[in-house]
Each structure stands twice: as structure tokens, then as C-alpha cells.
Chain A
Amino acid sequence: MNLTVNGVAQEIESPPLTTLLDVLREELGVNSPKVGCEQGGCGACTVLVDGEPRRSCLVPVAAVDGADIATVEGLGTPEDLAPIQAAFVHHYAAQCGFCTSGLLMAAKAYIDGGGTDDREAIAEALGGHVCRCTGYVKILDAVAAAARGDEFDISVTAEGQYTTMHSGGET
């Protein structure tokens, strides 16, 4: 079996019913999709399969043989964040970070699909994602801002305080 993961062709050796999540994490070392509930209920493992957001824990890899897979690793780099990542930093939309990978990919699919900053539409699009820190307000703020095409200064948050990105991760 073959996958293209973040633009790189990969030959897959895992058994065909292995979940796409396990293939990404265990075989390919792509660790941004998180192992949460493993039954589709939390959203933390969400990746894009041919551009569509999918729960990688529910996908047998044989069902997506030949597909194009996108994860956070393909979004941006620490030096050059993708707009949705910069929005999450500026609006402080990540707390513990466990749900963030899935939310970033779902938000990217929403915005790429023409999604606007309408909060109800965003809530509908992201309704399958659980944030255990309950940071939903700031997540909605970030996705709405990214959908508007706002520019982000990631050295400060929307609240005016310095972000950890600014201090290189030191707190």
C-alpha cells in the first residue's frame, strides 16, 4: 500500500486493517495526530484524507490506499507558521494542546472549503472536537480570525501578553 503524507510518497507495510492513526504514528513517526478515545468521539486524531477531515482512528489504512494525507507536520514550521497556526498562537487557542492538532486540521478544511467567520458555522464544523481544557471561546476566536484572513503578531496574544512563541518556549 502507498500513501502520500504531507507531500512525501510512503510505502506502507502495516497490516491492512491497521488504523491510519497507528500507521502515521507507529510506522511513519508522524506524531501530531493524537491517540485520544480511539472510537471517533474526541477529534484529536483528525487528519485530512484527500482534503477531507477524517478520524484517522476509524480509518483502516487499506481503505485509503493511494490517498493524500495531510497532518500538522505539513502545515508550517516554527519559523513560518501557517495562518491557522498563527491564529491559534495569537488567540491563545491551545492550552494543554492535546486537541489542537485535530482542531487545526479541521479548521484548515473548514477555511479551505470557503468557511467564514460565522461562529455558528464554525461551531458546526468543529462540533466533533472535544477540548478537555474547555478553551472553546478562544478556539472559535482563532478560527474566525483565520477565516477572515487577519494578520497575526505571534509575539503577543490578542490579550496583549507575550506568548511562549516570543520567548522561544521559555515561560
Chain B
Amino acid sequence: MAAVTDILIPASPEEAVSAYGDGAGVTVIGGGTIVMPDISAGRLKPAKTILLARAGMSAVTREGGRVTIGAATPLEALVDLPAPVGPCAANVGDCEIRGQATVGGNLCAGEGPGAPRGDLQGALIAVGAEVRSAGAGGETTEPLEDFLGKRRERLVLDVSFVEPAAGAFVALDRPHTHEYTTLAVSAALLADGSVRLAATGAGWWGVRLTSAEAAASDPEAAGQAALQDVTLHDDVLASAWYRGQALPVLVRRALAQLRGDA
């Protein structure tokens, strides 16, 4: 049985921001897929909880080439977006979990028991996504890479990015539909002709592969260069050694897929 706790169910984004305040001691529940097992098992006893289910933060808008995704949008609403974001979302969980899990939760989830979470981080870094968030000091908008370091202190309002000219997403096969992403590489060709690359599963957070980007015209070199951009780790899904073998391959495949898509 859940502990007695202060529950707030805001009916608008403004109410959610007000309820969140500076975020101290606040547990935010988007879809519940990550937080609820911790509460049910007694690992988490929140003093104050905000449910975003009715806060009106679950829309995806596409206007003038810009995609804006509300924090409480379920991942299933993203699967038809262009690569890399759409295919990345489709690679998370199963259709039922995707119908419940939210973008904000996926970005803000802490490390899981033994493996990184945050499947979408790599894809959204690759498209240069910006995160609009609230918390101490008021509302801010910043690149996702900068946001990740403070993701536990902020309430995500939405994530937005300019649709790339082309995109690609490649991932290691998951041993089971419910595994978190073992390793995945996302690529985006921007309107100015530049290529952005990012990885999920190569370290505990999503990481931009800047050395690989600099070598993007030579996929073989880019694959090797990507190893300079990451700090690989052992976890329950794969060893650092295996990830080191697979990362250059996925970078090459992502660049090949990007060329095919462009």
C-alpha cells in the first residue's frame, strides 16, 4: 500500500510549474512506468508528488519545420515522427508501455538498477533538441546535452527541435522487448549540410559524438573516432568491451542509412 503523501494533480502547465516550485522533495509522475515500481516496492516514499496526467502537457505540434513535444506526451505518439526520433521511440518497450511512458520521464529518469535509462536522449541530442523547463530560477530553455546534468532538479515542460533534412537510427537488437537500449546511434543531416551524431548506451547518459561528426565524410574513420567521444561502461546489458566493438559499426551503419535517406 502506498504511503500517505501530498498529491497534486495540476490541470494546466501553469499549475504544474506552480506546484513544482523549486523542486525540492518533489516526485513527478508522468506515465508512472519508472516511478511506480519504486513506490510499490517501498524504495521511494515521496513526500510530495505531482501527477502530470491532466496537466495538458501531452501534445505534439509540427509548425514551420519545428517539432514541439509536451513533457507528458506518451512515446507512442512519437513513433511516426521522422528518423531518428520516430524509430528511436518505436524501439522502446512494447506498444502498451509506449502508450503510458512519457517523453519527460524518459529524459529525466535516473540510472536504472544496473543499466542506463533515457532511450530517447541520443536521438534528441542528434537533432539538436532544446528542453524548456521550470524550477529554481524560473523557466529556462537549453540544449538537451546541457539539461541532462540537472535533469533531477527541473520540471520538463517541452522538448523541441527543427526537423532535420534527413535522419537515421540504428540500435543493437534488444534481447527482450523490455530491455533498455543497450547501444544505439542516431544521426541527423541538418539544413546547413552538417551532420550530427549521438549515442545512447555509450555511458550513463546520451552523448554527442563530436569527433565522429568531424569525420562524418569517412564512415570508417568516423566509427573509430566515436570511441574518443564516449566513456564506455559495463552493465547488465553488455560489457564495455562489447560496446567498444559495436559502436564503430553502428556509427558506420547510421551514416550509411543517413546517406540513403538524404
Contact = CB atoms under 8 A, between A and B. Distances in A.
Given A38-B40, A62-B9, A22 B1 contact: yes
B63 interface: no
A12 B61 CA distance: 36
Contacts of A14: 1
B32 A15 contact: no
12 contacts: A14-B1, A18-B1, A18-B2, A19-B2, A52-B99, A58-B100, A59-B36, A60-B2, A60-B32, A60-B39, A63-B32, A127-B177
A34 interface: no
Contacts of B40: 19, 22, 38, 57
A40 B178 contact: yes
Given A55-B33, A128-B95, 10 more contacts: A14-B1, A17-B2, A17-B49, A38-B40, A40-B37, A60-B32, A128-B93, A128-B96, A128-B97, A128-B177
B236 interface: no
Given A40-B178, A128-B95, A17 B31 contact: no
A125 interface: yes
B99 A38 contact: no
Nearest to A59: B32
B99 A54 contact: yes
B94 A128 contact: yes
Interface of B: 1-5, 7, 9, 29, 31-33, 36-37, 39-41, 46, 49, 51, 53, 93-97, 99-100, 177-178
Nearest to A14: B1
A128 B1 contact: no
A125 B94 CA distance: 8
Given A40-B37, A127-B95, A15 B4 contact: yes
Interface SS majority for chain A: mixed
A43 interface: yes
A40 B33 contact: yes
A54 B100 contact: yes
Interface of A: 14-19, 22, 38-41, 43, 46, 52-55, 57-60, 62-64, 106, 124-125, 127-128
| Most chain B CB neighbours (cut-off 10 Å) among A52, A60, A106 | A60
Nearest to A66: B54
Nearest to B90: A124
B96 A55 contact: yes
A53 B40 CA distance: 20
A169 to B, nearest CB: 31
B136 to A, nearest CB: 25
Contact of A60 (B3, B29, B99, B177): B29
A43 B5 contact: no
Given A16-B7, A59-B32, A128-B178, A43 B96 contact: yes
Contacts of A127: 94-95, 177
Contacts of A46: 96
A14 B40 CA distance: 14
Contacts of B32: 58-60, 63
Given A17-B39, A58-B33, A40 B97 contact: yes
A53 B93 CA distance: 14
Contacts of B46: 17
